[in-house]
Structures are given as structure tokens and as C-alpha cells.
Chains A and B, each alone.
Chain A
């Protein structure tokens, strides 16, 4: 894989708060620039018989848009977020139980899917659910000049020729999820993966810092 020329990856300002809701077992709000998502996790709880899986927990992901009902687009995002969480969660430790993750969109200013993933990971962490690794979402936009922009805003997304979102896991920085829009070459894909893996280190550092800050207040 080729080394990317641009080593200083710029992400917008990140913000995160955990345990801000009282009812869910875990909650978080995640901000990337102006994009903001609120996440809540319920579980492990009793599961409906029709959804019961005998050897692991059933995870349900619900994405709520800002206005109106969720549409077909949200279904595809829900599927991606759910299968990413399932890859990280040790669901076999809670067989025949249900986990529900609700993601409420507060404001969309680009890189939405990656913000959903980050909010989801922080909420799962807050709920204290056992996970084999952490994960984060990184969105890369390739603009008309072929430059790669990480964590693009809505305006940058609109101008881009290709948009890719990856979920990267924390242990070996490998890609668990990928979702793309627009057409691109194999070389561009590999470059974007390399950039996302680098950016993920920054995001995991942010995770660590925000959790540390939170526990330094409590203890």
C-alpha cells in the first residue's frame, strides 16, 4: 500500500459527552464540527421471542432523522451501524437478550455516518457492554482535483466526486465497514483507507482523552 503524501490529517473539532441521559443504560452525544448525534443504549434486557437468538444478544439499531419518519436511506445506515457494532460487541456473553441502540440526528453537516458510528461506540462504552475492540468512523471525500479531504462538511461533500466512509477497529486498525458513493479508482480507495487508518488513531486518542477527562471528575 502506498504511503499518502499528506501526513497532517485535519479533522474538524470533536466534542463528546457521555451519560447525559438518565433513562438509557448508556448514552452519549457526539459532535464533529456542526454535525451532531445523540445516542442511547438500552440493554441487556428481555427480548421478544420472535427476535430471540439462542447463542447471542439481539442488537437493534434505530436511526431517527431530525424531522419526519425514517426512510429507506436510514435503513441502509442502520444495517451498516448494526453490523459494525455486532463485530465489536461480545454478544455471546448475553445470549437470549436484547440490546437497543437509538441514534437521534441533531444536525447534519457532513460525515454523518461516521458521526453515527462514533456516537454509537461511545454509548456502548458508557453502557459498559463487553466489546472485543473499539471502532470509529472516518469519512473521506475525494474532490475534483483528486485531493482527499477527511471529515468533510456538507458543502465539501456536495463538491466531491467520491465519498467513502470506513469503520476502523482499534486493535490492528483494520476496516470493518465500508460504504461509498461516486466512482473512484482502486488506487484512490487504497489511499483513502490509508488516510482513514491514520485519522482513526487521532479519533481513538480523542476517545481516550474524553473518557479520562470524565473519570477524573468522578473519582
Chain B
């Protein structure tokens, strides 16, 4: 009976739960799904992380390459994020060139990296005007069950924290770089941005960490990204129904609490990996 109701009237089905301040999967409105993190899962990458937020699974691998800095910014390296939504992760994605959602997510991640100063691109410069690092951050969704952006940001941050760059020395006589793969240094992470996504139902009910089903039925969705200094790095609301100031304030407080939780989780996982070594 309940299954039939869910198929025939999905919105009404969700409303009947939201009325009682809970959700079909048993969560409260402001409750996240269980977040699990595994770092260093890809041994061939310079840094990697696998994140699961409920069923949503995202993997991020970072590959560092040596390149020439651009003429406009001779003392800066660069970071190239890319979000991939393959047909594997959900039936809504078709094979072929990346769709709008994947491209918008890639740009959003690039904006977050730039706005939050998670890495200062000056740190990636090896010799001014001659040599710098480019970090290719490939983020791939393996299972899409909503809240892609949050999972992507956590995966990216954890992978960056896991990244070990080999030491590069430039021989002055030959002007050729020499890479010492034995000696590796971690990246300097300046800020820890963490995103929190919300969905709005019926113009008034706010839920956190939506599943794919909830995303499809909601009237608006938005993402707040904060760092450990309680500064906002992004308030991304692409449209949908309007939001009042009080509601926004509520969301920001929830986002700051979430930032603390995730930063603690990342630190804990890194500690445990170190202990295992």
C-alpha cells in the first residue's frame, strides 16, 4: 500500500512525513546521512579520497604534473577540477560529453577552490616564470543519490590533504628539473571549506542533505560553503522559491556545525592512516 502511494503521489508521500518532522528514510529534517571517508584509496594518484554520504559515493584523485606557468601569472601554479557524472552512477545521465549538471558542478568546485583559498596557487610555483605544478583534481561520482556538491567538496578537501608532491630541484647548469620521487612533501592547506546543501519543500520546510528523490521533488535547493573561521566561501542558490533572512541564518548555523564535524572526521581519518603506517 505504502509503495503504491509513493509511486502514485510521491510529493504527497513526502509531505505526510515532513508534517511529522521526519523523512521517509527515518532522518530528522536537519540530520545528515552517515558520512564515511577513506583516503589514499588510489595508489597511482598523488592524493585521493573516497567519500560516501549515505548512498552517494564520490571518488577524487589528484594528479600533479609539471608545466610552465601562464604569462599572466608567472608566480602561480594552477588547479584544474573536473566533475564527472558517468552513466554508471544514475540512469539520469547518458553517455557522451558531460551534461549541464556535471559542467555546472565542475565550475562550482573551481569557484570554491578560488574563493576559499584552500590552496594558494603561489605554493605550486617551483621557479617563477619557468616551472610550476598543475593539480588535476578528477572527481567521479560512482553512485548518485543526491547532494553531489557536498560529497565533491569533502572528497576534494580530503584528497588535497592526502596529496604528497615529490621534491623538485632545478639543476642550474642544465636548466632541467630533477624530480626526487623518494622525498615527498604534503601540500599546505590554508582553509578547510565544507559545503552543506539544503532543499526547500512547499516554500517553507527546509531539509538538509537531500537524497536524489527529495532533490527532484523540492521547489528549491542551495548550498552554503563555510570554512573553519566561520567565513562564507559560497552561498550558491541557482533559483527556485525565495528564501527569508531568518531561514538563511538557520542554514548558515547548520553549515558551520557541519564544517566542524567534517573537519574532525578528516583529521581522524588522516590520524588513523598515519597510525597504520
Chain A residues close to B by CB (< 8 Å):
1, 72-73, 75-76, 78-80, 82-87, 164, 167, 169, 172, 174-186, 189-190, 193
Query: Can you name the residue of chain A whose Cβ is closest to the Cβ of B94?
Result: A50
Measured between beta carbons, the chain A residues less than 8 angstroms from B32 are: none
Smallest distance from the beta carbon of A176 to chain B beta carbons, Å? 5
In the complex the two chains form, what is the Cα distance from A77 to B43 in whole Å?
36
1/0 contact trace for B218-249 toward A, CB 8 Å? 00101000010011111111111111110011
* Cβ 8 A contact of B238, one of A164, A175, A177, A193: A177
Known pairs A75-B104, A78-B100; A178 contacts B232 (CB<8 A): no
Smallest distance from the beta carbon of A167 to chain B beta carbons, Å? 7
Q: Is the CB of B107 within 8 A of A183?
A: no
* Cβ 8 A contact of B106, one of A72, A85, A179: A72
Query: Can you name the residue of chain A whose Cβ is closest to the Cβ of B252?
Result: A186
**With A72-B106, A180-B234, A183-B117 already in contact, 7 other A-B pairs whose C-beta atoms are closer than 8 Å:** A72-B103, A76-B111, A84-B239, A164-B235, A174-B242, A179-B236, A186-B249
Q: Is the CB of A87 within 8 A of B240?
A: yes
In the complex the two chains form, what is the Cα distance from A80 to B252 in whole Å?
21
Smallest distance from the beta carbon of A89 to chain B beta carbons, Å? 11
Measured between beta carbons, the chain A residues less than 8 angstroms from B245 are: 1, 190, 193
Best-surrounded residue of B108, B117, B220, B242 (most CB of chain A within 10 A): B242
Measured between beta carbons, the chain B residues less than 8 angstroms from A190 are: 245, 249
In the complex the two chains form, what is the Cα distance from A182 to B231 in whole Å?
10
Smallest distance from the beta carbon of B260 to chain A beta carbons, Å? 16
Best-surrounded residue of A72, A184, A189 (most CB of chain B within 10 A): A72
Q: Is the CB of B100 within 8 A of A79?
A: yes
Chosen A-B contacts, 23 in total, with CB atoms closer than 8 Å, are: A72-B107, A76-B107, A79-B100, A79-B238, A82-B239, A87-B240, A87-B242, A164-B235, A174-B242, A176-B237, A176-B240, A176-B242, A180-B234, A181-B114, A181-B115, A181-B234, A183-B115, A183-B116, A183-B232, A183-B233, A186-B230, A189-B232, A193-B245
Measured between beta carbons, the chain B residues less than 8 angstroms from A85 are: 239
Measured between beta carbons, the chain A residues less than 8 angstroms from B242 are: 87, 169, 172, 174-176
Smallest distance from the beta carbon of B222 to chain A beta carbons, Å? 7
Q: Is the CB of A181 within 8 A of B111?
A: yes
1/0 contact trace for B247-265 toward A, CB 8 Å? 0110010000000000000
Known pairs A174-B242, A178-B222; A183 contacts B227 (CB<8 A): yes
Q: Is the CB of A167 within 8 A of B239?
A: yes
Q: Is the CB of B232 within 8 A of A76?
A: no
* Cβ 8 A contact of A76, one of B108, B115, B249: B108
Smallest distance from the beta carbon of A55 to chain B beta carbons, Å? 12
In the complex the two chains form, what is the Cα distance from A189 to B248 in whole Å?
10
Best-surrounded residue of B110, B227, B231 (most CB of chain A within 10 A): B231
Q: Is the CB of B235 within 8 A of A183?
A: no
Q: Is the CB of A178 within 8 A of B236?
A: yes
